[in-house]
């Protein structure tokens, strides 16, 4: 039986008190739903508050970003040890907003990934093509490059602590989600690449879908054999929508 992974990426939203309200509601709702793995990714400033709320619950905490250096003169940055200290068990790496708005290259993403796994933090690696790349028929090429470069120098043992979120850039925050067919073929492709990297034809990697997931369309994705869960942006800021997604996942 698959245990779906439902991740709420709050991005740069919510003050601590608002984050606390949502976290309390999600924690409370998830109490009686043991067959879904729920993860919340608040902004740095709410990590501590949300961690206190999630103590002794089955909801986990993720950071949306960190810097790969251990410590030192990096004004404005936060290290992996710091996010771990703040209670994170997971880190989102390579989100398309980081790639596009903050110029994160595959090389930087790889450094972050190596840093996270060495520090026992599980990684949600985001990959995805933009609209122009899809229109030009370059989706698979882009995905392969992103996955391969991000996973350079990662051992097959370390791969076990990484899941991949396929998030087509054109579907993020647009209200236009990918079709189930599009998701299935890319997920299948990602699994093949991972098997090659792990050098193990039986290696199984969790692959999630993200991009305009909401309480109405989540079932279509969660029912797919190829989809282990969803990464939710906008709809994770609404308690009812996110609880509906968790509830739908529990019935799959």
Place of tokens 């990464």: 231
Does the protein bind ligand PGA through residue 229 (CB under 6 A)? Answer: no
Select from 31-39, 46-54, 132-140, 211-219 the region that touches ligand PGA (CB under 6 A).
211-219
Six token digits for residue 2: 């698959």
Instruction: Indicate the helix (H) or strand (E) that contains 108.
Output: helix 106-118
To ligand PGA, the closest distance from the beta carbon of 153 in angstroms equals: 26
Q: What angle do CA 228, 104, 93 make, to 5 degrees?
A: 25
Give the per-residue contact string, 118-147, with ligand PGA (x = CB under 6 A; - = no): ------------------------------
Does the protein bind ligand PGA through residue 42 (CB under 6 A)? Answer: no
Alpha carbons 143 and 162: distance in angstroms, whole number: 16
Catalytic residue ranges = 95, 167
Q: Out of 154, 234, 246, 248, which residue is the one contacting ligand PGA (CB under 6 A)? A: 234
Q: Out of 43, 128, 168, 210, which residue is the one contacting ligand PGA (CB under 6 A)? A: 210
Does the protein bind ligand PGA through residue 9 (CB under 6 A)? Answer: yes
- Which residues are near ligand PGA by CB under 6 A? 9, 167, 172-173, 210-213, 231-235
């Amino acid at each position: 039986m698959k245990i779906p992974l439902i991740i709420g990426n709050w991005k740069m939203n919510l003050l601590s008190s608002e984050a606390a309200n949502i976290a309390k509601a999600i924690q409370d709702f998830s109490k009686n739903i043991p067959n879904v793995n729920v993860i919340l990714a608040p902004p740095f400033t709410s990590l501590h508050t949300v961690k206190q709320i999630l103590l002794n619950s089955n909801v986990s905490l993720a950071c949306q970003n960190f810097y790969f250096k251990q410590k030192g003169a990096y004004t404005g940055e936060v290290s992996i040890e710091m996010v771990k200290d703040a209670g994170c068990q997971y880190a989102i790496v390579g989100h398309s907003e980081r790639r596009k708005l903050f110029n994160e290259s595959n090389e930087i993403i790889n450094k972050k990934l190596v840093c996270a796994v060495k520090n026992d933090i599980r990684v949600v690696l985001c990959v995805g093509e933009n609209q122009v790349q899809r229109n030009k028929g370059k989706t698979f090429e882009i995905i392969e490059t992103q996955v391969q470069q991000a996973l350079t120098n990662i051992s097959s043992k370390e791969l076990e602590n990484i899941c991949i979120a396929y998030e087509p850039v054109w579907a993020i925050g647009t209200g236009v989600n990918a079709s189930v067919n599009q998701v299935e073929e890319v997920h299948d492709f990602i699994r093949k690449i991972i098997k090659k990297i792990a050098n193990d034809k039986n290696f199984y990697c969790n692959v999630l879908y993200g991009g305009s997931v909401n309480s109405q369309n989540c079932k279509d994705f969660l029912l797919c054999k190829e989809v282990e869960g969803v990464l939710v942006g906008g709809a994770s800021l609404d308690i009812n929508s996110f609880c509906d997604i968790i509830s739908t996942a529990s019935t799959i």
